Amino acid sequence: MTIQSSLFYGMAFARFAAMRTISKQHRPVSGTHTLADALDQPHNLLTPVRLLMALGVLLGHSFVVFLGNTGPEPLILFDITISYAAVNGFFILSGLLITRSFDRRPDVVRFIVARALRLFPALIVLSLVAVMIFGPLFSSLGLMAYFSDLSVWRYLCDVLTFGDTSGGPPQIFPNNPWAGEFSASLWTLRFEVIAYGGSLILGLLGLSRSRTRVLGVFVLSVLAFMAVRVMPADMLPAPFMDLTRLSMAYLLGATLYAWRDCVRISGRLALGVTALALLFGPTASYEIMLNFALAAGVLMVGFGLPVRFAPLARIPDLSYGIYIWQWPVMQSLYHLGMASNPFIMMMLSLPISALIAAASWYSIEKPALAYKTPLANWVLSRVILSRKTA
């Protein structure tokens, strides 16, 4: 099967699966557990889902730290690694929840404040720790040379502006396979911010409240993803390739929310979509179908598990902390010679990353989120005051 034909049939099946999954009926079947029903419930297991995806990234990176750029991690199926799939899952869930957030409360200021307080406090601490602690400890430069190097402060700006985060403080981890890199996970944050902006634009234009328009935007994202995959590898910059990949995942989540009254949460459906994705494994359309399988799995675990799993809802939200800290932890372990193989790396980095994430959640992230309403009210009052005095 050629790339063009596999993409054509993949697109056809993707649209068919989308419509079967989210639009077969305009009203939920009596007795069917729909996404709309699930979202109305006070509790869910989405926090454990996020944690599982963060752990998927950690497991994959445990191998990548050792392999460098010589090859993909062994946790791979049809050219999609576990860490790659986990990132797609993050964006699918983010698209669902962020679209829901703005739909429920279409307030631009409150939306921006909430998103900023979720991302920036922990990121500011990470960037400061990177340049003030990790850099001096793990750089091959002396202290005077290190702090006089302008790239120290450039890296700080890159992290906080979602610029080029592929590096780190100067000459950090010089003997590691990924020499000079502090946190490989940070590259996705710029695309998360772009997705937030996209959600804001769709919401302000009223498009997010039209099922057919949201579905149309999602189909366009699939077409864009397919188009860049058939182009020569050096024709487009890597960030554009990443943008089409992650926007397709994010917009799938947004589409699920738009069609929430018709989306059925079913174990059989999740298994069926997964089997369909595996059938596309050898083709170029596999990732499109895999996203549907990931979405079905996220909904099934997040909303469809038996009530005996309900206590898991009380798990603290450590996913963001684990996601941004696991790579620096593993780079440090490798540098210190404390992990001689990927499996030891997993066993050591998991509890250490979880402890750092817990400290981040309870001392930084959760307290910062408590200021969402007061800070939004303050910003709104400043805006109103400036308009009155203008």
Q: Is the pLDDT of residue 11 over 80?
A: no
Q: Is the pLDDT of residue 17 over 80?
A: no
> How many independent structural domains does the chain possess?
1
Contact predicate 212/354, CB 8 Å: no
Q: How far is CA 160 from CA 121, 176, 245, 274, in A?
A: 10, 25, 23, 38
Within-domain flag for 353: no
- Residue 215's contacts (CB-CB under 8 Å, 6 or more residues apart) are 18, 22, 23, 255, 258, 259
The share of the chain scoring above pLDDT 90, in percent, equals 62
Once rounded to an integer, what is the mean pLDDT over residues 263-271? 87
- Residue 164's contacts (CB-CB under 8 Å, 6 or more residues apart) are 158
Q: What is the pLDDT of residue 3?
A: 43
Within-domain flag for 322: no
Contact predicate 236/277, CB 8 Å: no
Q: What is the pLDDT of residue 97?
A: 95
Secondary structure of residue 225 in the 3-state scheme: helix
Within-domain flag for 321: no
Within-domain flag for 75: yes
265/41 Cα distance (integer angstroms): 14
For every residue of 36-98, DSSP letters joined together read HHHHHSS--SHHHHHHHHHHHHHHHHHHHHHHTTSS--SSEETTEEHHHHHHHHHHHHHHHHH
DSSP state of 382: H
Domain ranges, residue 159: 3-51+65-314
Q: Is the pLDDT of residue 5 over 60?
A: no
Q: What is the pLDDT of residues 118-169, one digit of tens each?
A: 999 999 999 999 999 999 999 999 999 999 999 999 999 999 998 888 889 9
Mean pLDDT comparison of 27-31, 176-180, 227-231, highest-scoring range? 176-180
Could you identify the residue written with the tokens 């002396």? 142
Within-domain flag for 14: yes
**Between 126 and 4, residue with greater pLDDT:** 126
Within-domain flag for 386: no
Q: Is the pLDDT of residue 56 over 60?
A: yes
Within-domain flag for 333: no
Question: How many residues comprise the chain?
Answer: 390
pLDDT-based confidence at residue 30 (cuts at 50, 70, 90) = very low
Q: What is the pLDDT of residues 67-96, one digit of tens each?
A: 887 777 788 888 888 999 999 999 999 999
Q: What is the pLDDT of residue 390?
A: 62
Q: What is the pLDDT of residues 286-321, one digit of tens each?
A: 889 999 999 999 999 999 888 888 888 899 999 999
Burial class from Cβ neighbours inside 10 Å (0-12, 13-18, 19+) for residue 212 reads exposed
Question: Residue 353 corresponds to which tokens in the numbers above?
Answer: 């990353």
Contact predicate 365/114, CB 8 Å: no
Within-domain flag for 97: yes
Q: Is the pLDDT of residue 193 over 60?
A: yes
Q: What is the pLDDT of residue 278?
A: 87
Q: What is the pLDDT of residues 327-346, one digit of tens each?
A: 999 999 999 999 989 999 99
